[in-house]
Every structure is written in structure tokens, then in C-alpha cells.
Amino acid sequence: MKNLIGLLTAGASLFSATAFAQPRYDIRTTSPLTSSQESVNYEFAISDCSDLKSVDITTTEGFQSFLASEAKRPLTSAIQCSFSFSTSSNQLYSPSVTTHDVNGGTDTYSEQFFEEIEKPKLSLSNVSVATVAGKQYVKVTLEASDNSDLSYISLRLSGIRASDLRAAAGVVEKALDTAFARTPGSVRIFPSSDDQTVFEFSYPV
């Protein structure tokens, strides 16, 4: 009986820690910041929207409240979500968002942005082929930085064998017809935090 009680206690503690995990927030610009603009477009991203009820944002149209059902949901995650909005006036570069959860809790998150004074820097660190659960993937590692705030990295991946490139007389566009890996278009990679500089992307072969 003592062992059973101990097991139940441990289980309850684990459930409690999981239930009250704090979601991560991030506000990103979706357009360059310049001195001449009168409004700025942003996206507010939440790592876990399972308990989200609504968000309050002061936008160019005034105070607005959005329900969780109005959020955008990425195809790669069942719990992440985001809201698009724009600001002007005194909140042009300092957007603020208040979240409300289903348990009655509230949280306010804000960020400070600055005008772009230099172009973002991007470099390719590594390309490799990895096997995960018996399936091969092309793994790309990139390094990116910006003086203001990175919104996302846009990537288009094509994997071509050297033999196929030679057969196409070195014409890349022709060799793409036999690519062993190729994204259907550009893929956007979003940062998980403001200070993230290393980004990884994997695509099945």
C-alpha cells in the first residue's frame, strides 16, 4: 500500500508540473522596419495554445480581442498558433499582447523593435543526410542574424546527384527533374526565440 501511495503521489506531481507549463511567446515583424512607415505588421506566436481562450491586442483599428478559434495553426504542430496584426502611433515599434486562458489566468507580453539599419546575414553551415527511424532526410543547418529581429528564413531545397547533373550537361534546371529531394516551393523557418541564430531544416529523401 505504501508503494502504491508513493506512485500516486509521484504521478500527481508530474501531472501538476505538466498542466501549469508556461507557453513561450514571440512577436515577429512580417515586413521590414523603415523610418517612413506609419504602421507595422506583426505576428504573435504561442508555443502551446491548448489552454488559450483569447488574446487582446491594440492594433491600427483600436483595441481588439481575438478568440483562440481565430488563430492560425501551422501544419507542423497541433498545439502552436499565431495571430497577425498591425500597430501604429505610440505602439508602432512596441507591440503588446495580453493572453487569457480557459482557467481565468492572464499574461501580458511585449517587445521593442528598431528600424532596420543593415541587411540580415545568412550563411550555410552544413548539409548532410541523416537516417531517422529507417528513413533518410536531407538536413540543412543555417546561421542567420539581424540587428533588429528575424521574422523567418525562407528556404527552397533541391538535392541533385552529381551523376544526374553531369547527364544534364551541368544545367541545374534540367537536372532538377531527377532531384532526389525537392521542396514543392519555399519553406519558411520561424525562430523559437529572439536570440536564435542557428536554424535546422530536414526534408525526406
Give the model confidence (pLDDT) of 56-88 as tens digits: 998 988 899 999 999 999 877 889 999 999 998
Residue 85 burial (C-beta neighbours within 10 Å; 0-12, 13-18, 19+): buried
Helix (H) or strand (E) holding 139: strand 135-145
User: Does any domain span residue 154?
Assistant: yes
Cα distance between residue 74 and residue 172, in whole Å: 32
What is the mean predicted confidence (pLDDT) over 34-47?
A: 88
Determine the Cα–Cα distance for residues 81 and 48; give it in Å rounded to an integer: 7
| Residue 191 DSSP one-character state | -
State residue 35's pLDDT score: 75
Q: If you ran DSSP here, which 8-state letter would residue 97 be given?
A: E
Whole-number pLDDT of residue 148: 66
Say if residue 97 is in the same domain as residue 160.
no
Q: Check whether residue 37 and residue 102 sit in a common domain.
A: yes
Same domain? For 95 and 168 the reply is: no
Q: Whole-model pTM?
A: 0.60
Q: What is the rounded CA–CA span in Å between residue 97 and residue 66?
A: 11
Q: Where in the sequence is the domain holding 125, given as residue range(s)? A: 121-204
Is residue 45 domain-shared with residue 69, that is, in the same domain?
yes
